[in-house]
Amino acid sequence: MILSSEIRLFLSVDISGSTILKSIYNHSTLLSKYKSRRASADLVKILFPNISGEQVDSILYKGLKDECSDWAAVIEEHFHGFHQMFEKKLKEYKLPKGLSFDSKNILPWKSIGDELIYSIKLNNAGSLHVFLYNFISAIEEYNSRLKQGNQIGMKGTAWTAGFPVRNRIINIPGNQKDYLGPDMDIGFKLKSCVKAGFVVVCMNIVDLVGRFETTNQIYIKHVGWDVLKDVWKGKPYPIFWASHSKDIHRNENNCGETFISKFTEKWLDEASLQEAKHFKEQIDQIRVNLPYDLGEVTPYIFDEEKKRPDDHELILQILAKLDDLNKTYEDDKPSDKEKVDKIVKDITDKIEKNIEIESISPDPDNKQ
Amino acid sequence: MRDNARNSNAASCSLSKSRRVDSKERSTLNITNQGNALNIDCLAVKEFTGSINDIEEIATRLLEYFKSKINVVTSQYHFLCEIVNKLKGSIVVSNNPFFYEEDGGSLLIKKDKSFIITLSPITSPLRDNFTIAHELGHYFLHYDQDIDIKEDIVFARYGRDLYERQANCFAASFLMPKDDFIKAKKEYGNDYSALATRFEVSETTVRIRERNINSFLP
C-alpha cells in the first residue's frame, strides 16, 4: 500500500485590537454602568412619581444596551462578517477553466482565541491562487470598510503544509483531527509579522503562486526577515506581504496596537510590489542554504504534478511498510491447538511455581 | 509529568524494578546490540505456528488466568506490571529515546530466564500499555522456556514482520478482547476517544483493532 500525500492551504484571519476590547466591554464594566444608571433611575422615580417603574427600567436597560457592547458579541460579529465577505468574493470570482467548487463548502476549520482559520486541500496551483486572491481581497476590503478610528482590524496569514511527510494529521479526543508540523509552526508564528489590513504569506506560497499564470495577479513584497522562535534552527525567515493590487495601500488604523515595525516601513518604501514569480530565484537560493535535515523542499502539488521528490517517495514507501506491520497477517495459518495449550500451560505453570517459591521463601524484609 | 505519572503507577504496583536506566547501565546488564537480528534465530526463539484465532485464544485464556490471580488492579498499566512481576520480569524506562537503535529492542531475556521490558522515555502511558503487552506477546508466543540459552536474547523490533505482527495481534487481543471490543463498539459507536479510554490504549490502537476485527468478521 502506498500512502497518499496532500498539501493544504491554511488561511488565518486574526482580530487585532481584541485584547483591549475585552478590557473595555466586559461584564464587570457592564455592572459598573448598570450601578451608575440604576442610581439615576432611582432618583428619577423619586422626583417623578407619575412615571411608572416599568418605564424607568425600560429606559435604563435601553441605555445600557446602547452604551455597552459585549466583546464576545463583537468578535462573533466580525468573524461572521469576514466569513460572509470571503464567501461572497469566492462566489463572485470567475473561476479558471477546470476548477469548480461550491463556496458554501468553504467553512472555517476552527477558531483559536481571536483567530479564525480555514484549511483547504489543494488539488492544483489554480485553486491556491483563487483562495488566496479572494482571501487577500476580503481582508483588504473588510478593513477598508471599517470606520475611521475603529479599534478593531483584521490581519491575515496564509501558509501551506504538506502531509504526511513534513507535517502530520493527528486524531484528537472527540473524533477530531488536528494538523501539526514545522510548516504549521511557521504559519502560526508568521501572524506576529503583519499588522491589521495586511496579509503575510509563507515562502512556499510565494513559490507556488509564482508558477500560476493569470490576469488576476497576487503581488508580493519582501518586507524583511525575522527569526521565528524554534523555526529553521534560528535562521531568519523571509517575510512576504501579499496584496491583490500592485499599488501600495496604506492602513493607518493601528487598532490600538503599537505596530510600527520594520516590516511596515519596508512596505511603505518606494519600491513597488512584484509578481510572485519574481522571487523564484531568491527563494531557491534561500532553500539551498538551509540545512538538509530541516526537510525543506520545493513545494509541490502531487494531485496536479503527479510526481514527488525522490526522498518523499521513499519516505511514503517506508511509512506504508510500517503501517503494514499494524495489520494482522493475512496469510493466516491453520490452527495449532496443541501449541495453544502448551503456551497457556507453560505460562500458568511458571506462575504457579513462582507463587509456590514465594510462599515458602523467608520474607527478606523480616530479618531477625 | 507523564514520567511522574508512570513512575507513581509503577510505585503503586510495587514494581521495585521499574526504574530508569541509561545506555551505560544497560551494557552492564549485558544488553548489547550484538546480533540483535541474528539471535532471533536462536533455538529458543521460534515463530508461532498457529493461526490468528489461536493467538486470540491464548490471549483470552491468559487474560482470564491473570485476572483470577491479580485481585486489586488500579489501571491497565498496574495490571500489566503485576503480570510482569509474577513472571519474574521487570520493566525499566530507558534514558535514551532511541534505545532501539542502540540496544536493538525492548525485550531482553536473560540467561537465567528472567526478562526486562524497556520503555521509551518519551512515549505516553497508553502507548506503554501496548508496548508491554506486545513484549509479553513475544515472550509467550516466541520464546521456548524449555530450551536453555547461552546468551541473552534481544527481541529486535526490526527482526521479522511475522514476529511483530503476531506480537501485535497478541497485544491487541489481550488489551481489547474481541467480545469486549465488539460490545464496546455497540455502546460507543465511532467515539474512538471513549473506546480508547475504555481499554486504556491510544485511539490509533483502537482504530487498528477495529480494522483487524472487521476483516475477520463474516
> d(Cα B23, Cα B6) in Å, to the nearest integer?
20
Buried b (16+ CB within 10 A) or exposed e, A55-71: ebeeebeeeeeeebeeb
* Candidate from A174, A329, A346 with C-beta closest to B165: A329
Q: Please report, for residues A195, A350, B132, B171, the alpha-carbon distance to residue B145 in angstroms, rounded to integers and kept in the order given.
A: 69, 10, 19, 20
Q: Does B34 touch chain A (CB under 8 A)?
A: no
Alpha helices in A48-200 (DSSP H): 53-67, 71-92, 125-145, 182-190
pLDDT of residue A65: 77
Q: Which residues contact B58 (CB under 8 A, 6 or more apart)?
A: A340, A343, A344, B140, B141, B170
Q: Does A271 touch chain B (CB under 8 A)?
A: no
The helix (H) or strand (E) run that includes residue B105 is none
Q: What mean pLDDT is reported for chain B?
A: 77
Say how many CB pairs under 8 Å bridge A and B.
Answer: 86
Q: Does B210 touch chain A (CB under 8 A)?
A: no
Q: How far is B91 from chain A (nearest CA, A)?
A: 17
pLDDT of residue B54: 94
Q: Does A354 touch chain B (CB under 8 A)?
A: yes
Closest CA to A210 of A276, A301, A274, A129: A276
The helix (H) or strand (E) run that includes residue A156 is strand A153-163
The three three-digit cell numbers of residue A348, written as one number: 500458568
Largest CA distance in chain A: 101
Nearest CA in chain B to A349: B87
Buried b (16+ CB within 10 A) or exposed e, A267-281: beeeeebeebbebee
Q: Please report, for residues B54, B136, B166, the alpha-carbon distance to residue B59 in angstroms, rounded to integers and kept in the order given.
A: 9, 10, 11
Q: Based on the number of CB atoms within 10 Å of its own CB, is A4 exposed (0-12), middle (13-18) or buried (19 or more)?
A: exposed
| Cβ–Cβ below 8 Å for A175 and B191 | yes
Which pairing describes strands B19-21 and B107-109: parallel, antiparallel, or unpaired? unpaired
pLDDT of residue A148: 63
Using a CB-CB cut-off of 8 Å, the residues of chain A touching B169 are: 328-329
Using a CB-CB cut-off of 8 Å, the residues of chain A touching B193 are: 173-175
Give phi and psi for A328, each to the nearest 5.
-70, 140
Q: How many beta carbons lie within 10 A of that of residue A30, not counting itself? A: 16
pTM value is 0.76
pLDDT in tens, B178-212: 999 999 999 999 888 889 889 999 888 898 899 88
Question: With contact defined as beta carbons under 8 Å apart, do A159 and A200 qualify?
Answer: no
Q: Please report, for residues A72, A359, A365, A366, the alpha-carbon distance to residue A362 in angstroms, rounded to integers and kept in the order given.
A: 69, 8, 9, 8
Per-residue pLDDT of chain A (368 residues; tens, 9 = 90+): 557 889 999 999 998 887 777 887 788 888 888 888 888 888 888 888 888 888 888 888 888 777 767 788 888 888 999 999 999 999 999 888 878 777 777 889 999 989 999 999 998 888 999 999 999 999 998 888 876 667 788 999 999 999 999 999 988 877 788 999 999 999 999 999 998 889 999 999 999 999 888 888 999 999 999 999 989 999 999 999 999 888 777 766 666 555 557 888 888 887 789 999 999 999 999 999 999 889 899 999 998 888 899 999 999 999 888 877 776 666 567 888 999 999 999 999 988 888 777 777 655 554 44
* Candidate from A335, A347, A348 with C-beta closest to B50: A335
Q: Which residues contact A269 (CB under 8 A, 6 or more apart)?
A: none
Q: Does A335 touch chain B (CB under 8 A)?
A: yes
Helix, strand, coil share (%) of chain A residues, nearest 5:
50, 15, 35
Q: Does B141 touch chain A (CB under 8 A)?
A: yes
Judged against a pLDDT cut of 50, whether residue B40 lies above it is answered with no
Q: Does A51 touch chain B (CB under 8 A)?
A: no
Q: Does A174 touch chain B (CB under 8 A)?
A: yes
Torsional sign, CA B195, B201, B207, B210 = negative
Q: Which residues contact A367 (CB under 8 A, 6 or more apart)?
A: none
Q: How far is A288 from chain B (nearest CA, A)?
A: 29
Q: How much is the ipTM here? A: 0.78
What percentage of chain B reaches a pLDDT higher than 90?
A: 35
Question: With contact defined as beta carbons under 8 Å apart, do B61 and B170 qualify?
Answer: no
Q: Does A98 touch chain B (CB under 8 A)?
A: no
Question: With contact defined as beta carbons under 8 Å apart, do A191 and A200 qualify?
Answer: yes
> d(Cα A187, Cα A202) in Å, to the nearest integer?
7
| Cβ–Cβ below 8 Å for A333 and B51 | yes
pLDDT of residue A27: 83
pLDDT of residue A174: 73
> d(Cα A278, Cα A16) in Å, to the nearest integer?
31
* Candidate from B53, B141, B204 with C-beta closest to A343: B141
Question: With contact defined as beta carbons under 8 Å apart, do A131 and A11 qualify?
Answer: yes
Question: With contact defined as beta carbons under 8 Å apart, do A43 and A220 qualify?
Answer: no
pLDDT of residue A63: 80
Q: Put residue B30 in one of left, alpha, beta given phi > 0 → left and psi -120 to 50 → alpha.
A: left
Question: With contact defined as beta carbons under 8 Å apart, do A135 and A82 qualify?
Answer: no
Residues in chain B: 218
The three three-digit cell numbers of residue A287, written as one number: 532553500
3-state secondary structure of A274: strand
Question: With contact defined as beta carbons under 8 Å apart, do B116 and B108 qualify?
Answer: yes
Beta bridge partners of A159: A10
The order of strands in the sheet holding A219-226 is A110-112, A115-122, A6-16, A153-163, A199-201, A237-243, A219-226, A274-275
> d(Cα B204, Cα A177) in Å, to the nearest integer?
12
Peptide bond preceding A164 in cis form (omega within 30 of 0): yes
Please report how many Cα atoms fall inside a 13 Å half-sphere around the Cα of residue B133, on the Cβ side.
33
Cell 484549511 belongs to residue: A119
Judged against a pLDDT cut of 50, whether residue B6 lies above it is answered with no
Residues A208, A310, A212, CA angle at the centre, nearest 5°? 15
> d(Cα B152, Cα A209) in Å, to the nearest integer?
58
